[in-house]
Each structure stands twice: as C-alpha cells, then as structure tokens.
Amino acid sequence: MTRKIQILDTTLRDGEQSPGASMNSAEKLIVARQLLRLGVDAIEAGFPASGPSDFRAVQEVGQLVGDDCVVCAFARANERDIDVAVEALKTAKRPRIQTGLGVSPVHLSENLHLSEDECVDRAKRVVSYAKRFVEDVEFYAEDAGRADQEFLVRVVQAAVDAGATVINIPDTTGYSLPEDYGARIANIMQQVKGIEDVTVSVHAHDDLGMATAIVLAGVRNGATQVECTINGLGERAGDAALEEVVMAIKTHGEVLDAHTDIRTRELMRASRLVSRVTGAMVQANKSVVGANAFAHSAGFHQEGVLQSPAVYQIMDPIEVGSFGSEIVLSSRSGHAALRHRLAELGYSFAEEEFGDVYARFLEMADQKKEVYDEDLESMLEERSRDVEAIYTLDALQIQCGDPLVPTAVATITDEKGEQFVVSATGIGPIDAAYKAINQVVSAKCELEEYVVKAITRGIDAIGEVLVRIKSEDGKLYSGRGADNDVVVSSAKAYVNAINRMITTQRSREVR
C-alpha cells in the first residue's frame, strides 16, 4: 500500500492573496463546501488577525466542517496573532494553528532583523505558546528554499522539540530546482530527531513555473502533506495547483509511493466554482482543468484519439469531472474528425456525398477559428435548401458607411447556368442587396418579416436570418440563410424564399 499524502488546501488563505481574487466570508463558505466534496484533509481558512472578515471566515468554516477535516488558521510568530487565531478556531472540532517565520538569510537580515540564534529561540517560543491552546500546531519555515540547510535543520529541530505536529518547508519564492528541494526534504528526514512522528509538509510557489514539480520532489523524498490551491491561485505567480498535484500523484502513484483521498471527479467543478467566485479566469491551456486540457485540434491527433484516447491522453477526462475528450473542429481537422462529429449529431453520408459536405466544412472553417455543432447543423440545413435552388447567390460584395451610399454587387446563377453580375444602391446594405437580387429574379413580392439572430458562439458567430415574403396572390413564403456576415445571411435568406415561392407557383401551374 502506498503512503497517504494529505492535502491541505489554502485557497481561502494564500489563494485569495492573488490580486483581485479576495473573497468575503460568504464566498469562502461556498468554496469550503466544495473542498469538503473534494475530500481535502485540511482547509486553511484564513488569517484571523488580518481583519474581521478573515476572523469570521475561520469561525464559519470551523462550524461548517465539523469532524470532516482539519481547520487551520494562519498566524505570524507573535502572541497576539496566535490569541486571535485561537479565538476564531473555537468553533472547529479539529483546529490547527499554523505559525512560523522566515529562515533565509535575506529574511533574517532584511525583514526580521534577527540573528540565527534569535530565530531559533522565537520558533521554540511561538510553537510552545500555540501548544497551550491547540494540540495540532504547524510550524512554517518561510523561504526555506533559500535557507542555509544546516540552519534550516536547527530551526526545524527546535520546532519539533517544542511540540510541532506539522513542519511546513515552503519554497516561498519558487526559487528551488525540484531536485535541490527534494534533497532538502531528504536531509531533514535524516537529520531531525523525532521527524518520523511529525507530518512533513511541502508548499511551493510558481515563480519559475515549477511549483508542482517542486512539491512532488518533496513527496518523493518523504513529505506526507502538500499545501496547494485550486487553479494554482496564490501570491505573485501562484501556488502549486491542487488539481495538478493530485492527478500527478494518481498518475505516478507507484513511483512516488503515494496516493491521496481526493475525489478527483470533483476537480473540474471546484475549478469552475473558484474561478466564478474569485473572478480569476482559468487559462484555456491550463493542465487538468483548462478548456483545452482534453481538446484535440490537429487532424492526426484527432484520428489517434478517435481510435484510442490513450494515444494522446494520459488521463481519463471523466476522472477529473470533465465531459470527455473534445474533438475541436477547425481548418486542421480531417475527414475522420468531421465524420465522427456528424455521426454524434445524427448525420451520415455516403462517400460521394461526403466530399461535398467536407468541402463546405472547410470553407466555413477557413472563416472561423472553431466550428461548433450549431455551425454544422446550419451548414447542413443550408445545403439541403440549396439542392433544388432555381437561383443561387454565388457572391455578394457590399460597400457602405457614412457618408458612403450603400451599394451591393451580386453574382447570381439561374437554373440554366447563366450567370449575372448586377449592382444596386439602397438606404442600407441589405436594401441594396435585395434590390440587386430583384434585378435578376424579377420576383413580384414584398418583404413582410425580417429576423436576425446569432446561432453559434463567439465573436465570429454565424448569424441566421429568417425572412418572409408575400407574393402577389397574398401567399407567404419563408426563407433562411446563415453566414458569418449578416448581410450575406440576409441575401441568402431572400434568395431562398424566392426559390420557394417560384417552386410552389410552378407546381400549382402543373396541376
């Protein structure tokens, strides 16, 4: 059996220190409920001494959590901070105080103005003081990634001797190389007496993009707790992301001799919730929970994934709460990807028909970054409308603006194959386009209704136009057109309606 790695989530404390990502106590409770669904082992709920909002958040999270997990409150290395944390934690059934101080040379000289001996003495004192009130005390050695290793061992030994139950070795500035950080943890495991009875925790920031790698190196060398945040929120470039750490441990559990009790199918929900609450958007190419994490765009990738997801995926998207692999249709997509998506939508085509469908798809894909299901359905509907077209709109060019006179130049082919190029002016671009079309079709009708709407997503969305025209005998005929350009959609809809009118009138004459 592999070692159990505890997950301490600090989204509510370190995570909300991301600029613009602060949460009030009500929002923290919303996130805390999701953290419980995830099954985290500890929630660092806030820094009570920093103000009433954090104090209340720790109280309310403690009340919410009950016996389900540890509730941790942050405190600096002074008695006042610890006293306030103790008061806030009175509602928690499993309270923990995390306190500590900087241990790197720059922290000692420039920030704390302490000698090494004074730092060791203060570490002993604050841990001993916190132990008067709670059994579970976590000591953090801030900026341990840049600390002198021998001194770091001295400080950690002092904290363990004073009764610390958890020792946190943070790479506060994200400075360490993973192998160097792993060596620090290994050295602590070897040198500190009594460390086998203490939880060794790792915490890293992502200043050089290595936070996840750093904490995993710590786990590999003996750490049994990881401190992380949803979506990697945190100071500056953020902390190690919980979803990355958990899935990396799940993927490499045997090598790391590690597992967590996180319910991974809640990861996507947690990510989206935190993003909504904090307003901090998740980048599309974010690992595990990003919009593109399981999306495939290149044709040869799509074909591989359709044959077996394992060809290009090391995780099952269902395991993180995603809806599955996504085939992103674009100009790079091949026949296999388009056939697959059309089949999912309920369409199938013989080989001789599919060539035309794929050609139309490529025309659309050249205009849009991504082709959505609605685009495909609109394309197929338009294709079916064009099958028996009497008049076909081949091209439309519009010139308009202030103070220009709206002018349309249309190229139209009739059922005999004769092509016409006509132009007209109007009070607007659509009026000009319709007048140009009328020069060819000579249709006697009036426009009764005109409706336009976006039927797909994005700034390059396809606009669909519905028109109704009235013939001389008072009959109504509808037509639809769809295109990225709403004026072109309007022209297609008008031609479609005219075709319907003429076809119907001819059928009556035959009867």
Which tens digits make up the pLDDT trace of 397-440? 999 988 889 999 999 999 888 999 999 999 999 999 999 999 99
pLDDT of residue 304: 54
Domains of the chain: 3-278 (3.20.20.70), 295-371 (no CATH), 387-510 (3.30.160.270)
pLDDT of residue 479: 77
pLDDT of residue 359: 84
Residue 97 tokens read as 């105080």
Query: Do the Cβ atoms of 151 and 169 come closer than 8 Å?
Result: no
* Mean pLDDT score, 293-314: 53
- Which residue in 384, 380, 359, 339 sits closest to 462, CA to CA? 380
Measured CA to CA, the distance from residue 166 to residue 129 in angstroms comes to 15
Residue 174, pLDDT > 80, answer yes
Measured CA to CA, the distance from residue 416 to residue 499 in angstroms comes to 14
* Mean pLDDT score, 180-208: 97
Within 8 A by CB and 6+ apart from 88, the residues are 46, 48, 54, 55, 58, 59, 62, 73
pLDDT of residue 310: 60
3-state secondary structure of 464: strand
Q: List, for residues 87-141, the tens digit of each pLDDT value.
A: 999 999 999 999 999 999 999 999 999 999 999 999 999 999 999 999 999 999 9
Which of 186-190, 322-326, 336-340, 481-485 is predicted with the least confidence, judged by mean pLDDT? 322-326
- Which residue in 231, 248, 234 sits closest to 203, CA to CA? 234
pLDDT of residue 296: 46
* Mean pLDDT score, 233-248: 95
Which of 167-176, 258-267, 346-355, 452-461 is predicted with the least confidence, judged by mean pLDDT? 452-461
Which of 68-72, 112-116, 329-333, 496-500 is predicted with the least confidence, judged by mean pLDDT? 329-333
Pairing of strands 463-471, 199-204: unpaired
pLDDT of residue 213: 98
Alpha helices in 162-308 (DSSP H): 178-191, 211-220, 242-251, 253-256, 267-278, 299-307
* Mean pLDDT score, 251-273: 93
Cross-strand partners of 483:
463
Measured CA to CA, the distance from residue 20 to residue 317 in angstroms comes to 30
119: left (phi over 0), alpha (psi -120 to 50) or beta: alpha
- Kindly compute the dihedral angle of the four CA atoms of residues 412, 418, 424, 428, in this order, to the nearest 10 degrees: -10
Measured CA to CA, the distance from residue 81 to residue 127 in angstroms comes to 12
Query: What is the rounded radius of gyration, in angstroms, for the C-alpha atoms of the chain?
Result: 33
How high is the mean pLDDT of the chain? 87
Residue 486, pLDDT > 50, answer yes
pLDDT of residue 285: 80
Residue 54, pLDDT > 80, answer yes
Residue 240, pLDDT > 90, answer yes
